[in-house]
A and B are shown apart, each in its own frame.
Chain A
Amino acid sequence: MTEDVLVSGSLRNRLAMILTGGAAVLAIVIFVVVRGYAAQIAQEGQDNILSASVSSILDAAVLRDGMVELDFPYASLSMLSTAADDRVFYAIYEDGVLLSGYAGLDMPQPGQTDEKTFASLQYDGATVRVATGTRILIGADVPRQVSVSVAQTQDALSETLNRISRNVAVFGAGFFALSTALSFWATSTTIGQLSRLTNSVTRRGPQDLSPFRKPVPSEMVPLVGSLNSLMSRLDQSLKQSEDFIAEAAHRMRTPLATVRSNAEATFQRVENPENRNSLRSMMRAIDECSRAAGQLLDHAMVTFRAENLDRETVDLEEMLRELVLRMTPVAELRDVALHLEGGVPALLTGDPVLLQNAFRNLIDNALKYAPPDTTIVIRVHNDPTLAVDVLDRGPGFPPDEIDLLAGRFVRGSDTKGRIGSGLGLTIAQDVVLAHGGALVLSNRSEGGACATLQF
């Protein structure tokens, strides 16, 4: 069945791919964002220290005798010590003229006071971060603008960033690994629900069309709902056709009975061989027709009941004894005897109606083929398992067709002149299969057929 289904990708793979891919993207985003944020914070930290350094130098600026004096504290540069021993540069300008420190660092921006500016630039072959601050000194004459730039290389910063990057990368990788594991778990859990539904549907018997009743996740409710409605429609149409068969058979029987009885009565009175032959073939046709109707009905019934087996304890021997009793009148008409062999415990859990039907069909079958003045033996034994043999002295099954015989509507090739629809063995087989057993057909070495129902 599955090979007929067109496959369009795998839900599991798609889900796993989306979840894993999402986790990967998320991990990368986390890495980029956290690293960027850390870089910003680290840069802010460095800026703060540079800014403090600039402030402390500017604070030391005084005008003495019209000259700018800058006795800045040791701490101004000391605070810039880092674990990576970053290089430090500074420049002090007075009205744009380098007063002290390193030339060419950062030219102060005129007019900006109380506001530190920060820039990253190249100085002496290294990337440095520069903070610049300005202060106006009011002397006796004109105001002087003192600007201070303090710069620092970024070795410690990049070390910190590298460390953070490593940690964030490890975190991201961990996140990704965990997410991947989770996504696989989630995927298999989700798909597991589908598999469970599939299993439950697959495990059903071929005729079990009852709705799926186990609880399912809400997302699967529409699917299961459609499945159930499909099955109920199927079930209904099946029942309808069963009812139809039953009704058809029933409607046919009464007129047939009339015709047959009349034909038989007429047959007794008519002497003309031609007329007798016509009546004979008429009765044969009626018998064939009614037998077919009966077996079709039986088969429909077996199919129907096999879905929901009645389970009760059945004593096979007792059931067979009654069956033999009821069938003896028919057997006697053919001068055939029915003999039941038992005496072993023959208790079975099963559907008595179905079992009786199966045995009746087997005995019917044997009666059809048994020659007069012979005995049909019905033997109950339990070695190795409980089984019932129906043995006759007829011609036996054709050896080359023995495996096909239980198929629906198949009749043996040597059945000419005997009435039967071919459903008898099929019914017996359906019943025994529903009970977890098997129908075994064989020929007896001393001649005759042996049909065995094994349970």
Chain B
Amino acid sequence: MKYLLVEDNLELAQAICSRMGLDGHTIDHAAKISEAMDFAQAGEYDLILLDIMLPDGDGRSFLKQHRAAKNDTPVIVLTARSQVSDRISMLDLGADDYVTKPFDHAELQARCRAVLRRKTGSAQTMMRVGNVEFDPVGGHLTVSGNVINLRNRELRLLELLMNAKGQVFSKQKLVDRLFSYDDDVSDNAIEVYIGRLRKHLEGSSVQIKTLRGLGYRLDHD
């Protein structure tokens, strides 16, 4: 998916971009409102991540202009404040959700997906591999015309593998992506989710291969 990050703190922006990149998302960065307006008008973004405190104005004024321009790209606000009244006024101005800094990347992703699902129903970026159609926003998988609803971790696992076809993911890496650093996860937890996905993908042209000692890889015929 394609994101626009509006954030004046370059270090934070870099960290976010690099983390998003790991999940295979495209992300553009704007450090000012004026820049952000240009980006938003030029490119088609699935979602805008907006910081509130910006050098050339309040994120709220961007929100206002953004909505005034009839641009309906969803906006998730990144705020350092946590006052409820702040959040409410931002929602009133047209933000779709907010994430309080510092945030868990998984939570940000979950919120993005929820916003997109709510806003558009399904992503414009439907993934197609062979005879498999995957909608990461709506969370369903279509295999030879059969629609399968995926659970949260199945969905995230599939999205990860599909975004990097042919790339080998170690078990460790997959655990890191699917679970919080805090979760107590056993090694075979991943095998359970891989097993479920394989079952969903049965009869399709897509397979998840096990590379002994290395990890997993998504292949297709």
- A-side residues, CB < 8 A to B, are 246, 249-250, 253-254, 256-262, 264-265, 267-268, 271, 279-280, 283-284, 286-287, 290, 293-294, 297-298, 301, 326, 328-330, 332-333, 335, 353-354, 356-357, 417, 419
CB pair B82–A329 under 8 Å, yes or no, is: no
B97 (CB) vs chain A CBs: closest residue: A326
Q: Is B41 an interface residue (CB 8 A)?
A: no
Chain A residues with CB below 8 A from B18, complex form: 265
Is the Cβ of B19 less than 8 Å from the Cβ of A298? no
Cα A294 to Cα B82 in complex, Å, equals 6
Q: Which of B103-117 contact A (CB under 8 A)?
A: 103-107, 110-111, 113-114
> How many residues belonging to B are interface residues under a CB distance threshold of 8 Å?
40
Q: How far is the CA of A284 from the CA of B153 in the complex (A)?
A: 22
Verify B177–A298 contact, CB threshold 8 A: no
B80 within 8 A of A: yes
Which chain B residue lies CB-closest to A286? B102
Q: A353 touching B85 by the CB < 8 A rule?
A: yes
Besides A254-B80, A262-B11, A333-B104, 11 more A-B contacts (Cβ < 8 Å) are A253-B80, A254-B9, A257-B80, A258-B12, A260-B102, A261-B15, A261-B16, A284-B181, A333-B106, A333-B107, A333-B152
Q: Is B119 engaged at the interface, CB distance under 8 Å to the other chain?
A: no
How far does the alpha carbon of A246 sit from the alpha carbon of B181 in the complex, in Å? Answer: 28
Closest to A249 in B: B82
- CB–CB B177/A268 < 8 A: yes
What is the chain A residue whose CB lies nearest that of B179? Answer: A333
**B125 within 8 Å of A (CB atoms):** no
A298 — which chain B residues lie within 8 A by C-beta? Answer: 82-84
A254 to B105, CA, bound (A): 15
Task: Give Cα distance in the complex from A297 to B100, angstroms.
Answer: 12
Q: Which residues of A contact B181 (CB under 8 A)?
A: 264, 267, 279-280, 283-284
12 contacts between A and B (CB under 8 A): A246-B81, A254-B12, A257-B101, A262-B15, A264-B181, A267-B176, A268-B177, A297-B82, A301-B84, A329-B111, A333-B110, A335-B152
> What is the distance, in angstroms, from A434's C-beta to the closest C-beta of chain B?
14
What residues of chain B lie closer than 8 Å to A264, measured between beta carbons? Answer: 15, 19, 104-105, 181
Given contacts A250-B81, A271-B172, A298-B84, is CB(A257)–CB(B107) below 8 Å? no
Instruction: List the 9 closest A-B pairs by CB distance, nearest first.
Output: A261-B15, A257-B101, A329-B110, A257-B102, A253-B80, A260-B102, A258-B12, A329-B114, A262-B15
Interface residues in B1-37 by Cβ distance below 8 A to A read 9, 11-12, 15-16, 18-19, 22
- Give the residues in chain A near B85, CB-CB below 8 Å: 301, 353
Cα of A284 to Cα of B181 in the assembled complex, Å: 8
Find the B residue at minimum CB distance from A301.
Answer: B83
Query: How far, in Å, is B127 (CB) from chain A's closest CB?
Result: 20
**What are the residues of chain A within 8 A of B88 when measuring CB–CB?**
353
Q: How far apart are the CA atoms of A353 and B9 in the complex, in Å? A: 30
Which residues does chain A contribute within 8 Å of B101, judged by CB atoms? 253-254, 256-257, 290
Which of B101, B102, B173, B182: most chain A CB closer than 10 A?
A: B102
Asked if B71 lies at the interface with its beta carbon under 8 angstroms from chain A, I say no
Task: Flag if B111 contacts A353 (CB, 8 Å).
Answer: no
- The distance in angstroms between the C-alpha atoms of A245 and B15, with both chains bound, is 27
Considering the chains assembled together, what is the distance between the CA atoms of A333 and B82 in angstroms? Answer: 21
CB distance from A110 to the nearest CB of B (A): 111
Whether the pair B110, A353 counts as a contact (CB closer than 8 A) is no
Query: Contact between B152 and A257 (Cβ–Cβ < 8 Å)?
Result: no
A47 to B83, CA, bound (A): 98
Q: For the complex formed, measure the closest distance between the CB of A228 and the CB atoms of chain B, giving whole angstroms.
A: 28
How far is it, in angstroms, between the C-alpha of A257 and the C-alpha of B102 when the chains are bound?
A: 4
Contact A250 B100 (CB under 8 A): no
| C-alpha gap A271/B105 in the complex (Å) | 19
B117 closest partner in A (C-beta)? A329
Which of A246, A286, A330, A335 contacts B107, CB < 8 Å? A330
Asked if A353 contacts B19 (CB within 8 A), the reply is no
- Measured between beta carbons, the chain A residues less than 8 angstroms from B78 are 257
CA distance A335 to B153 in the complex (A): 8
Nearest CB in chain B to that of A273: its residue: B172
Query: How far does the Cβ of B19 sit from chain A's closest Cβ, in whole Å?
Result: 4
